[in-house]
Amino acid sequence: MSPRTRSVASTGRPRSANQDLSARLNAHFQAENDVRRGVCLLNAGRYDEAAVAFSRAAAHERNSAPLASYMAACCSAKGETSAAVEHFSKAVERDDKDVTARIRHGLALWTDGREEESIEALRAAVAVTPESAELHFQLGTLLANRGQYEEAELRFTQARNLDRNHTEALMGLAMCCGIRNAPDEAVEHLQRAQTRRPDDATIGLMLAQAAKATQQLGHAVGVRATMPKEGPEIDQRGIEELLTVIQNEPDFVGAFLSVPQDQIDPRVFSVLLSALQRALEHQPEHAELHYHCGQVLARLNRPHEAIEANERAVGIDPKHVRALIALAHLYRLVDRPREAAERLEEVVAAGVEYADVFCLLGHLYRERGQYGRARSAYHRALCINERYQDAREALATLPPDA
């Protein structure tokens, strides 16, 4: 679509794509609500009902995986595992104490179907770096997947001893306890894990199941689950995922902004804003990031801050057309029509001809009693798009002698 005919209100994003994104986000927030309900039921001792709520939340979470995680999964499904094994093997040769390379090498072997080699690779890594909790945990996970639960439990225990905050190791321990029919011990591990990660539906589900099993053995159960915090908080890993996608996918923020306001939770934009602000800490002279920040702030109904963000974008790049147009809308919103018109005049002076721009410019002139200029602007809009009904109707409202 050429600049002469393009509408600045158009997102170019298919309605079905918006609906899909909206559905995924709604599933995420439904999962959050189910987790909170599950915690309440756990604390009330209603373990069956709690398990149902957590199961529903876990299903939502699987169906609404973050875009970054989804993309990573797609990239890893290309059948290039043999090449990955060779790559990570060379990394280990360069530095046999590189824990990350060791783990990736072991997992690549597993993915390539070489399970025994995978386990032996991680055993060798543990021998070199025995103080790494993550190595013990990863080895325990592979052993558990092969049904070697006794040794797996030892590895999970070692991981927990090395890192008391290793939530996944606690979950692994709980699983092993359940397998050897010790649900009361599983409850203890899962209680600690749930306190550390109260918004995790899988932990909640495991805790409800372990509590129910303990109760069935005739043992007293006293679960005191922690309620997740309210608000748009996400962990560091989530922010970093968002940053990566924002930097690599130019249309990522626009995809969220294109969803109708009544179909998306405002918390989404609070999280996006946090990621953008983090990105700006590293790239303060990045005009596009400031513009995106302004768009998100506007969606959060913070127009004055949105104006500041877009002004920064224009300060860095005076011909940033989208920021100039955004400023015009924002200035009009806060009753600064003269400045709104000036920004649109800058867009026109830059040689950009959008029907929407001329129509909005006509509205601004008309509101200030500049009917001749308004008429000219509406005519320009209709020259670009003769079917532009808003411009045609506005033109008809002008005084005939203007």
What token pair was written down for 216?
Answer: 């069935």
pTM (two decimals): 0.60
Closest CA to 316 of 294, 291, 350: 291
Of the candidates 60, 52, 51, 54, which has an alpha carbon nearest to the alpha carbon of residue 26?
A: 60
Check the CA dihedral 85-86-91-93 and report its sign.
positive
Query: Is the pLDDT confidence value at 201 over 60?
Result: yes
Higher pLDDT, residue 376 or 81:
376
How far apart are alpha carbons 91 and 87 in whole angstroms? 7
* Contact between residue 152 and residue 169 where contact means Cβ atoms under 8 Å apart: no
Least confident of 54-58, 233-237, 322-326: 233-237
Question: 92-113 pLDDT, tens per residue?
Answer: 455 456 788 888 888 888 888 8
Q: How confident is the model at residue 30 (pLDDT cuts 50, 70, 90)?
A: confident
Helices 389-396 & 355-367, crossing angle to 10 degrees?
A: 20
Structure confidence at residue 67 as a pLDDT band (50, 70, 90): very low
Least confident of 4-13, 45-54, 137-146: 4-13
Look at 67-81, 226-240, 306-320 and tell me which has the smallest mean pLDDT.
67-81
Average pLDDT, the chain: 83
**Torsion on CA atoms 245, 249, 251, 256, rounded to nearest 10:** -10
> CA 207 → CA 42, 203, 253, 317, 337, distances in Å?
8, 6, 37, 54, 59
The answer to whether residue 323 scores a pLDDT higher than 70 is yes
- pLDDT surpassing 70 at residue 238: no
State both tokens at 182: 């010790």
For the chain, give the percent of residues with pLDDT over 90.
59
Say whether pLDDT at 10 is over 70. Answer: no
Question: Residue 178: how many CB atoms within 10 A of its CB?
Answer: 20
Burial of 197 (0-12, 13-18, 19+ CB in 10 A): middle
19 versus 156: which is more confidently predicted?
156
